[in-house]
Amino acid sequence: MQKLLNQSEVPPDGYRYFQAETRTWIRAADYLNLFIQVREHRLANNLPLPTFWEAEVEDQLCHMLPPGLCKEQNPAQTINTFTRISWEQVVGGTRTLVDWAAHGLTKVSQELADSRANICTRCYYNVAIGGVCGSCGHLQNLAAQFTHGRRTPSDPFLRACAVCHCSLQVKIWVPVESIDKGTPEESLNKYPEFCWQKQELLAYRATKNADNTAK
């Protein structure tokens, strides 16, 4: 968990929190009011208030701020989402899915892609893309090259992943076997616990290790 170094100094873009369950950005004028508004929002939407919910709110805020404004508990695993990913990074990250392309662009089922996309829309690592992307019409064109026009209801809310720099409109269609080949262990640890990539890769690798042991 991370904490602000100066709670009275308004951070860039203000005090804010993304409530995943309701896909709502909650903003406040000051530090204490942020927690009040998050609490009211959760209560109004029948969401739980676990023991350390305030710490989780502050930790998420810190992940969205420039370096130096928070005390980082584990700098090696911190992904800063304040700096927008460039269009060039997204193109490069997406085109690294060469293993998928080499296997004929076999896609996962519509149901699985829909489920993955829904999770991504609730994640604060689903970040905006800067540069030439603009309104992201280019993003749809890039995705179409890989998906041949297949879409999910969540596509309008999908941008790029701050961890892998891939177009999420593309990544949600990629089989876990191909994702596994391009995801080193150190990168896997950077995904949030609720991320479908982390959950699917952990399950896939556990099964693969068990099969290798049995042999």
Residue with tokens 């690294």: 96
Residues 193 and 91 in one domain: yes
Among 118, 132, 49, 27, CA closest to 89 = 132
Look over the chain and give the mean of its residue pLDDT values, rounded to a whole number: 80
* pLDDT at 85 exceeding the cut of 70: no
Residues 14 and 105 in one domain: no
Domain count, the chain: 2
Q: Rounded to whole angstroms, what are the CA distances from 136 to 77, 99, 132, 157, 165? A: 28, 25, 8, 11, 15
Residues 36 and 95 in one domain: no
Residues 69 and 117 in one domain: no
Average pLDDT over residues 170-178: 89
Residues 140 and 46 in one domain: no
Residue type, 152: T
Give 167's strand partners.
Answer: 160
Residues 131 and 200 in one domain: yes
Kindly tell me the burial class for residue 138, based on how many C-beta atoms sit within 10 Å of its own C-beta (0-12, 13-18, 19 or more).
middle
Residues 12 and 69 in one domain: yes
Domain closes at, from 77, 94, 115: 77
Helices assigned H by DSSP within 158-195: 168-171, 176-181, 185-188
Residues 65 and 152 in one domain: no
Angle value at C-alpha 174, between 133 and 80, nearest 5 degrees: 50
Domain closes at, from 55, 77, 99: 77
Residues 119 and 156 in one domain: yes
Domain closes at, from 12, 44, 77: 77
Residues 106 and 209 in one domain: yes
DSSP 8-state assignment for residue 87: H
Residue with tokens 């530090």: 31
DSSP 8-state assignment for residue 167: B
Q: Which two tokens stand for residue 111?
A: 């149901």
62 three-state secondary structure: helix
Element (H, E) at 70: strand 70-71
Strand 160-161 with 70-71, pairing = unpaired
Predicted local distance difference test score (pLDDT) of residue 1: 77
Average pLDDT over residues 165-190: 85
Residues 103 and 154 in one domain: yes
Q: Which two tokens stand for residue 151?
A: 């879409």
Range of the domain at 186: 85-214
Predicted local distance difference test score (pLDDT) of residue 199: 94
Predicted local distance difference test score (pLDDT) of residue 34: 94
Residues 132 and 182 in one domain: yes
Give tens-digit pLDDT for 21-70: 888 899 999 999 999 999 999 999 998 888 778 888 998 898 888 888 98
30 three-state secondary structure: coil
